[in-house]
Structure 1
Amino acid sequence: MTTAVSSHKDLIVWQKSVTLSIAIYKLTEGFPQREVYALSSQLRRCAVSIPSNISEGKARRSRKDFTHFLAIAYGSASEMETQLLIAATLGYCSQNEYEQVNSLLSEVSKMLRAMIEKLETRG
């Protein structure tokens, strides 16, 4: 038996992306002060963009709009992947921190991609 998803809050991908956002905020707290308006800010904007676009797309109530906003969220996740790698390479976080956040990011990205593909094949 399948349960209907009535709210973006019911979507596991939204829940995980909120967890990812919180993890990014905590991670960037330890970045150098000089990065406050640079890499920290970029990572935080991407992090907030993912669940925000999922919720906005879900609220639009059309498959086409939902798919479009999921694609934007997926783009933000891809952007975050690059920024996270740069931060780790610069030594702004430990390897363990990087791997934990990147693992969650990878999970969210895969879920978004699967949702997009499913919605696109439905027409």
Structure 2
Amino acid sequence: LKITPFVQYRLLLDVVGRPLTSFKCTKELVRGILGAMKAHWSAYKSVNLLHCDISPGNIILTDDGKGLLIDWELAKKVDENAAKRRERTGTWQFMSALLLRNPGIKHTLQDDIKSFLHVLVWTNIKYVP
């Protein structure tokens, strides 16, 4: 008897937030990214999942300024990710330098954390006057 794992998806048909780049102040930007990092950490600790595509387009802000991490389609279980990869997925502008220099290595938690840092720096440089 072979049991196929169940994967649940949710499709939202209404607006649940606004783009990260629409932040009203730097504090809201940092809170938004922190909220997305907490969601990422929760997924990593509870089901061993890495997002693998951290970018400003995948973080949205709710009306109360909290951050949500969206678009989990490229997410990988850490154990599935152990084999060397021939192709890299994700937004290259926000990938860690290690992944960009070594396309065959596995994607790790540290790579996603570095991507959050790249998002923070890029968004500050581009959108803060």
Fold conserved (TM > 0.5)?
A: no
Which structure's residues are more often strand, by fraction? 2
Structure with more relative contact order (C-alpha pairs < 8 Å, separation 6 or more) = 1
Which structure's residues are more often helix, by fraction? 1
TM-score range, shorter chain: 0.3 to 0.5
Q: Given the two structures, how large is their TM-score scaled by the length of structure 1?
A: 0.35
